């Protein structure tokens, strides 16, 4: 039997050095199944020069009796002569979890005492300097002529670099996977001949599919494309597959449909990576990015831009209106100063003329003059109303609030309105109304203006109703007519200055009414239907 003691000294076996190795012999019998004539020196040369580390443990001492050069390099010292049960502490044989391996769990120990054989099992070897190596171990029991285990051999390889490379690759793949998840990008590789595509996991998620070995084939893929986009996709892929050369590219946006019917927007980039013997593409790779959120944001931005443009137009119009109203205010001030005074002189002279005419003898001439004086008075009153409207619209309003009893005040205020014979006028209160603080002058202007508008809206006669009522914490006054009504296209502009549908009028009446109501803390609304009439509602807090 060959006795291995250390890598520096191998004692030859007694007997013939070229004795044929037979099954059942010690180390050489276990190491080689062929009948070879290997002498001790040739065997030693072989073991010392192979890239694998080899150690032998023998009974009865259960010590390491042989370690080749590579084993000594990996362990960091010569393990020969060390007992197996002390080996883990002496030379730090560790599990893959980094814990010291118990001696009875060592592969050589189990091969020696349990007759177990191991192939490509892993462990960690830690050198005295603390440097660690990951090794793959194969261990096998060796038998004597009587078939009893008398030794064991272990062969181990340093796979540290390989494992580190695999770990780095796994980490790189994990980083790539994470990057694809974050960017919503999936990658694929398509074999034209096999009609098979390898998809990344994220690409399955983008398409709403469960990850598997291969992605959909061409027909299955096309079926998931939005119908309006299929022709464009088909033309693009036909261009690549049938006419593409190496590195031919295509990129475009399209839409896909998930099984639940929801739609996703996709950006695709594709390139030919391999050609066959006929110079036709055999392998195409690409990426698909989910750009649904980007498209939605883009759509919202386009809508925001339109809204912003509309807002700018509205604001520009408001500024122009403000400039126009400012000009109106300046004009109103000028009119109030330059026209009101001479108009008052005309009114005074008209009053004196009426007195003179009324005292003259009756005649046809007197009758004609009185009719003319009435006509002149109407025009003077109309001009005075225009001036008042202009001034009320332009000047700051400072109401003088007093306690007002509406049920008695309303009939008095509208008594000055000239109601034609063909119009029925009604003023009433619903229940006992509380006193509320209002400006009587403002209230008269409001009711007279609304009443006159109502009368003008009923040229063929009708009914004018002025009603006061209360509800909860508010008091309301409504002015209703059964006239022609307000067209829908006019309603949004009804309170704007210079807005009128009458052939005669400046369009300040309702704008002034609104200002007078709001100056007293109230609000004004209206409802109207063409051909049925209009109702204005004034609301004041008690």
Q: Are residues 153 and 189 in the same domain?
A: no
Question: Per-residue pLDDT tens for 103-162?
Answer: 888 888 899 999 999 998 889 988 888 899 999 999 999 999 889 999 999 999 999 888
- Could you tell me if residue 68 is inside a domain? yes
Question: pLDDT below 50 — which residues of the chain?
Answer: 1-36, 503
The distance of Cα 435 from the centroid of its chain, to the nearest Å, equals 57
Domain identity same for 425 and 350: no
Any bridge partners for residue 272, and if so which? 284
The three-class DSSP label of residue 74 is helix
- Give the model's pLDDT for residue 500: 63
Q: Is residue 82 part of a domain?
A: yes
Q: Is 424 found in the same domain as 342?
A: no
Q: Are residue 34 and residue 154 in the same domain, yes or no?
A: yes
Does one domain contain both 335 and 275?
no
Domain that holds residue 39: 3-158
Residue 164: inside a domain: no
Are residue 362 and residue 484 in the same domain, yes or no?
no
Q: What is the C-alpha separation between 142 and 148, in angstroms, rounded?
A: 8
The contacts of residue 33 (CB under 8 Å, 6+ apart) are: 23
pTM: 0.42
Domain assignment of residue 481, yes or no:
yes
> Do both 303 and 221 map to the same domain?
no
Residue where a domain terminates, one of 95, 123, 158: 158
- CATH number at 349 reads 1.10.287
Distance of CA 490 to the CA centre of its chain: 41
Tell me, what's the pLDDT at 393?
66
Instruction: Categorise residue 516: left if φ over 0, alpha if ψ from -120 to 50, beta otherwise.
Output: alpha
Buried b (16+ CB within 10 A) or exposed e, 191-217: ebeeeebebbebbbbbbebeeeeebbe
Q: Do 425 and 487 sit in the same domain of this protein? A: yes
Domain total in the chain: 4
- Position 45 in a domain: yes
Is residue 494 domain-shared with residue 512, that is, in the same domain?
yes
Pick from 394, 426, 455: which residue ends a domain? 394
How far is residue 466 from each of residues 113, 320, 422, 476, 514, measured CA to CA in Å? 117, 37, 17, 11, 17
Which contacts of 212-217 are long-range, i.e. CB under 8 A and separated by 24 or more positions? Answer: 215/188
Give the pLDDT confidence score for residue 136 in this predicted structure. Answer: 92
Residue 219 placed within a domain: yes
Based on the domain organization, do 388 and 407 belong to the same domain?
no
Q: The domain spanning residue 78 has which CATH number?
A: 3.30.450.20
Same domain, 63 and 150: yes
Asked if the structure places residue 171 within a domain, the reply is no
Q: Pick the last residue of a domain from 158, 185, 211.
A: 158
Q: Are residues 377 and 508 in the same domain?
A: no
């Amino acid at each position: 039997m060959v006795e291995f003691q250390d890598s520096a000294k191998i004692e030859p076996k007694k007997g013939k050095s070229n004795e044929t190795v037979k099954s059942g012999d010690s180390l050489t019998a276990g190491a080689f199944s062929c009948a070879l004539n290997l002498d001790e020196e040739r065997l030693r040369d072989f073991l010392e020069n192979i890239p694998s580390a080899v150690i032998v443990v023998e009974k009865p001492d259960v010590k390491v009796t042989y370690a080749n050069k590579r084993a000594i390099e990996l362990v960091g010292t010569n393990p020969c002569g060390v007992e197996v049960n002390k080996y883990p502490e002496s030379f730090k044989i560790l599990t893959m979890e980094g814990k010291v391996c118990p001696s009875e769990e060592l592969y050589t120990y189990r091969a020696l005492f349990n007759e177990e054989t191991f192939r490509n099992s892993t462990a960690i070897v830690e050198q005295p300097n603390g440097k660690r190596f990951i090794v793959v171990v194969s261990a096998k029991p060796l038998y004597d002529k009587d078939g009893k285990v008398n030794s064991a051999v272990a062969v181990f390889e340093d796979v540290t670099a390989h494992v580190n490379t695999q770990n780095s690759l796994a980490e790189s793949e994990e980083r790539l996977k994470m990057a694809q998840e974050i960017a919503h990008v999936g990658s694929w590789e398509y074999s034209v001949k096999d009609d098979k595509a390898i998809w990344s996991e994220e690409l399955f998620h983008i398409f709403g599919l469960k990850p598997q070995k291969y992605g959909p084939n061409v027909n299955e893929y096309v079926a998931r494309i939005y119908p309006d986009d299929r022709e464009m996709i088909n033309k693009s892929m036909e261009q690549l597959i049938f006419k593409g050369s190496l590195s031919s590219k295509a990129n475009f946006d399209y839409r896909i449909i998930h099984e639940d019917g929801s739609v996703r927007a996709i950006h695709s980039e594709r390139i030919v990576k391999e050609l066959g013997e006929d110079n036709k593409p055999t392998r195409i790779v690409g990426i698909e990015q989910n750009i649904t959120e980007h498209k939605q944001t883009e759509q919202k931005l386009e809508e925001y831009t339109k809204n912003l443009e509309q807002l700018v137009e509205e604001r520009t119009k408001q500024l122009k209106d403000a400039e126009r109203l400012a000009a109106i205010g300046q004009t109103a001030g000028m009119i109030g100063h330059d026209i009101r005074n001479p108009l008052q002189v005309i009114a005074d002279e008209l009053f004196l003329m009426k007195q003179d005419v009324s005292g003259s003898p009756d005649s046809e001439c007197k009758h004609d003059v009185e009719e003319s004086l009435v006509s002149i008075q109407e025009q003077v009153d109309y001009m005075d109303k225009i001036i008042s409207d202009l001034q009320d619209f332009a000047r700051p309003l400072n109401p003088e609030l007093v306690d007002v009893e509406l049920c008695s005040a309303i009939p008095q205020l509208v008594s000055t309105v000239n109601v034609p014979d063909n119009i029925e006028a009604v003023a009433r209160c619903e229940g006992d109304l509380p006193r509320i603080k209002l400006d009587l002058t403002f209230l008269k202007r409001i009711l007279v203006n609304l009443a006159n508008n109502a009368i003008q809206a009923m040229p063929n006669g009708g009914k004018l109703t002025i009603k006061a009522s209360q509800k909860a914490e508010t008091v309301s006054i409504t002015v209703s007519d059964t006239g022609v009504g307000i067209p829908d296209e006019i309603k949004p502009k009804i309170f704007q200055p210079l807005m009128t549908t009458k052939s005669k009028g400046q369009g300040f009446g309702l704008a002034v009414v609104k200002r007078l109501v709001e100056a007293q803390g109230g609000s004004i609304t209206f409802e109207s239907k063409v051909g049925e009439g209009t109702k204005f509602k004034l609301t004041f807090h008690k």
